[in-house]
Copies of this chain bind each other. A is one copy, B any other.
Amino acid sequence: MKPGDIVRITHDGKMYEGTLLPSLKGTVIKLANGYNMGFTSEVSVEVVGEEKRLEKFPEIRLEDNPALPQISMIATGGTIASRIDYRTGGVHMLMEPRELLYSTPELSRITHIKNILSPFRIGSESMSFSCYKKIAELAARELNGGSEGVIVTHGTDTLHYTSAALSFMLRNLAKPVCLVGAQRSPDRGSFDGSINLICSAHTALSDIGEVTIVMHAQSDDSCCNVLRGTKARKMHSTRRDAFRAINDVPIASVYPSGLIDYKSAYRKRGEGETLADTAMEEKVAFIKAYPNAQTEIIDFLIDRKYKGILVEASALGHVPTDTVEETLSWVTPVRRACEEGVIVAFATQCLNGRVNPFVYSNARIMHDMGVIYLGDMLPECGYIKLAWVLGHTNEHEEARKMMLTNYAGEIRGRSDFRGF
């Protein structure tokens, strides 16, 4: 008995037939309807044949209903767009973006998928600014071309960086752009991609005119959260409910049935052309402040003509200033950066809460040298925003003004503690 075999399983008096999938725990089969089914207890398994075309997903007839409201999909890779090679157990990219739909035939009863675009297929850890530009341009084109919303399927590692980038790039956005991924691969009984896709389809048709992340709300399959693209972060490496709102509450919970339970304020769907404003500065660094950090790294960035540095500073926005060893103080290199026109911005490595330069004098020194304190903005979002802002200006006062302007819910005057 090996993965790829057609097996018949008897359990609790019922019989199931399907393709045996590689599994670390228990027995998992893919049923003829495309669903995976997992058995953790002892079951009777009988081999009845061998899968003929192992490299192919079971064929599913996708209904096509142009009368339904239409959305577009942009497929970029990641676990949600992977499939298992039943022979090797390895995870591969889908051959065809349309295969995405095979795991989730329900989609065709919710929406008419007008276009499935696949500008590139890479895991999200390898995304770069050029990828964000392509996604933003396609999303704007599809929305302006009549789609009610856009779903972007994406790897989860850096999903929150992409959601931040799209939040800034898509100006005058008034329709839903939903990023969705999967924490578990399709070979596992716990595959979360189907529920996430279904909930993202409901969200793409809702009146939430923002860039959002739609992923599992809990570890069970009951519903997904709709998280603001600038205020979310992957907070667990493997759990299905890894994505959390930080300094924010979810916009809504969405149920597979289509029920949307709204939880906080959001920008409503509206009219107008969406603009893809995609200029990004490449020479931007994202560094951490930490004990005993050798400050030569900052000097290197200045020497190499970096235009911006986003620092994950400690707590309220501190960096080493009163060190026993003078060479470890950041005062001199940060002053040099500011004097040479590098835009330096601080966000908190606590993630929750906000930076504030007016509590302790060493932060005030940084502030007075020209460091921009980003309030309750997440460091990841701050990095993306700094690159986007510096794609538009190199002038310090204009950059500061833009960094402190709330474009997409990324910076708030008052924190919401419900999320902590």
Residues of A within 8 A of B (CB): 90-91, 120, 122-131, 156-158, 161-162, 234-239, 242, 280, 282-294, 296-297, 300-301, 304, 312, 314-316, 318-325, 328-329, 348, 350-356, 359-362, 380, 383, 387, 417, 420
Complex contact A315–B237 (CB within 8 A): yes
Copies of this protein in the assembly total: 2
In whole angstroms, how far apart are the Cα atoms of A13 and B348 in the complex? 44
In whole angstroms, how far apart are the Cα atoms of A321 and B128 in the complex? 11
Complex contact A125–B314 (CB within 8 A): yes
**Residue in B128, B362, B380 whose CB lies within 8 Å of A325:** B128
Complex contact A288–B314 (CB within 8 A): no
Complex contact B321–A125 (CB within 8 A): yes
In whole angstroms, how far apart are the Cα atoms of A153 and B64 in the complex? 67
Complex contact B161–A235 (CB within 8 A): no
In whole angstroms, how far apart are the Cα atoms of A90 and B362 in the complex? 12
Q: Considering the complex of A and B, which 4 residue pairs feature the smallest CB-CB distances, nearest first?
A: A237-B353, A125-B318, A157-B314, A236-B352
Complex contact A291–B158 (CB within 8 A): yes
Complex contact B315–A288 (CB within 8 A): no
Complex contact A288–B316 (CB within 8 A): no
- Measured CB to CB, the nearest residue on chain B to A325 is B128
Complex contact B322–A235 (CB within 8 A): no
- Measured CB to CB, the nearest residue on chain B to A415 is B238
Complex contact A126–B320 (CB within 8 A): yes
Residues of B within 8 A of A238 (CB): 316, 353-354
- Measured CB to CB, the nearest residue on chain B to A156 is B315
In whole angstroms, how far apart are the Cα atoms of A131 and B312 in the complex? 22
Residues of B within 8 A of A300 (CB): 297, 300
Assuming A128-B324, A315-B157, A348-B237, is B362 touching A123 (CB within 8 A)? Answer: yes
11 interchain pairs, CB-CB under 8 A: A120-B324, A126-B320, A126-B322, A126-B324, A128-B292, A130-B324, A235-B351, A236-B420, A286-B293, A296-B304, A297-B301
In whole angstroms, how far apart are the Cα atoms of A284 and B112 in the complex? 54
Complex contact B285–A294 (CB within 8 A): yes
In whole angstroms, how far apart are the Cα atoms of A380 and B355 in the complex? 20
- Measured CB to CB, the nearest residue on chain B to A349 is B234
Residues of B within 8 A of A242 (CB): 350, 352-353
Most buried by B among A125, A126, A129, A323: A125
Most buried by B among A323, A350, A417: A350
Complex contact A286–B290 (CB within 8 A): yes
Assuming A128-B292, A285-B294, A292-B282, is B235 touching A352 (CB within 8 A)? Answer: yes
Complex contact B282–A235 (CB within 8 A): no
Residues of B within 8 A of A294 (CB): 282-283, 285
- Measured CB to CB, the nearest residue on chain B to A376 is B237
